[in-house]
Amino acid sequence: MIAMRVATVARREYLERVRSKAFLVSTILGPVIMAAFTLGPALLMKRQRGKPLRLSVLDASGHLYQDVERALSLRKEAGQGRFVLKPPPAGDFQVAEAGLKDQVLKGDLDGYVLLPQDALERSVVEYYGKNVSNVMDIRLLNDAVEEAFVVRRLSAEGLAPDKIGHLTKKLDLKTSRLTERGAREDRGGLFFLSMILLTMLYTTLAMWGAALMNGVLEEKNNRVVEVMVSSIPPIQLFAGKLLGVGGAGLTQFAVWAGSLGLFAAYGASATAASGLAMPEVNPLVLVALVVYFLLGYFLYGSMYMALGASVNTQQEAQSLAFPVMMPLLLGFVFSFTVLASPDSPLSVTLSLIPFFTPLLMFMRITTVTPPAWQIAASIAIMALTIAAMTWLAARIYRVGILMYGKRPTFPEIMRWVRRA
């Protein structure tokens, strides 16, 4: 009988949230934004780099043209030539440069390299192009010309040209993340993923908390609450709202975690080709994402409900919101400390403080998986804190929802707790 009414209230809350446009948009947009942040740059660059750059080289020194041209046309990316070289127009230097400018502006050419008279001595080369913000191409261009210069200088010192390439080979620093399941190459993707998931957790906890608070405030201001309280004990109303809205949050996270899993499985191959490897998404991370969202939701959600019941308007809520928002925000701020050294005693301690656990323990799980006992301890501590917090919040809620008029002070709210 009791469970029935709690379920009825929860069902109403759930449907109302899930049917709203905001829910639809944020649930679909979450994975889209996530994909945009990780896949987007890689895909964009890949597309841009699909088209080779049409270049001309204008040589004022009179002796570098061939070396530079050869280095540029040898430059290949994924088996394709990056630069297509066109001979500069005939005529003296001024006329030729004017001709090249013209071609670039007309779009017949993407740009031209100008080798000044003392280019080799001063190591200065100029590039003029319609677009100079295509960082990857400019870098390749830089490397190619530099290589040509180095070869030129070293051969002038008497080195055999076939040895030069071998001797000046550039260093490639490969970074790999070592886990119990083996090493895996990771070039910073994991860092981004951790930050994205953490930001997602932080914003959704604040978002669902605010949604709960506004729901309570709305019932209070529309005076629906009087009809409700005459039909169902306030404690059950509280439970029903918390569970129903939580169900909507869980649905959203299930969609997100699911799409992240799919994304990790299928997206990895897509990104691999572009050189920006997608980090491994451990199933544990997906489970942890959902679990820590729920734990955080119940802790902060009950606080937000008590807040909504204590005030009459959103403005009043803002002035009382500080103690509710602060721990969540602090957790977010500390996440940078934890990310820098996830296993330090400070990080371990912070991640076991229940108000920070949802963000910080989750962050540790995504980086260096903590020992199982720490994860278990964090969940146990949170469960106890949630029990205490819901008890407290429900008592504040019970008195607050029927209080109108002046905004209560903290001592007054504490009196409600004792009175209820």
Residues lying near other proteins in the complex (CB under 8 A): 1, 4-5, 8-9, 12, 16, 218-219, 222-233, 402
Q: Whose Cβ is closer to other proteins: residue 143's or residue 226's?
A: 226
> What radius of gyration do the chain's Cα atoms show?
31
Q: What share of the chain is helix, strand, coil (3-state, %, to 5)?
A: 70, 5, 25
Neighbours of 19 (CB within 10 A): 10
The least CB distance from residue 8 to other proteins, in Å, is 5
Give the Cα separation of 169 and 106 in Å (integer).
Answer: 38
CA torsion 234-216-295-5 (nearest 10°) is: 40
The least CB distance from residue 304 to other proteins, in Å, is 19
Q: Where do we find the tokens 């918390």?
A: 242
Q: Whose Cβ is closer to other proteins: residue 142's or residue 231's?
A: 231
Q: Whose Cβ is closer to other proteins: residue 9's or residue 243's?
A: 9
Q: Whose Cβ is closer to other proteins: residue 1's or residue 372's?
A: 1
The least CB distance from residue 404 to other proteins, in Å, is 9
Q: Whose Cβ is closer to other proteins: residue 276's or residue 399's?
A: 399
Q: Whose Cβ is closer to other proteins: residue 30's or residue 215's?
A: 215
Do 73 and 81 contact (CB within 8 A), yes or no?
yes
Give the Cα separation of 320 and 316 in Å (integer).
Answer: 6
Q: Residue 325: is it exposed, middle or buried by C-beta count within 10 angstroms (0-12/13-18/19+)?
A: middle
The least CB distance from residue 10 to other proteins, in Å, is 11
The least CB distance from residue 5 to other proteins, in Å, is 5
Q: Whose Cβ is closer to other proteins: residue 111's or residue 244's?
A: 244
The least CB distance from residue 305 to other proteins, in Å, is 17
Do 351 and 364 contact (CB within 8 A), yes or no?
yes
The least CB distance from residue 17 to other proteins, in Å, is 12
Give the Cα separation of 331 and 338 in Å (integer).
Answer: 10
Give the Cα separation of 123 and 126 in Å (integer).
Answer: 10
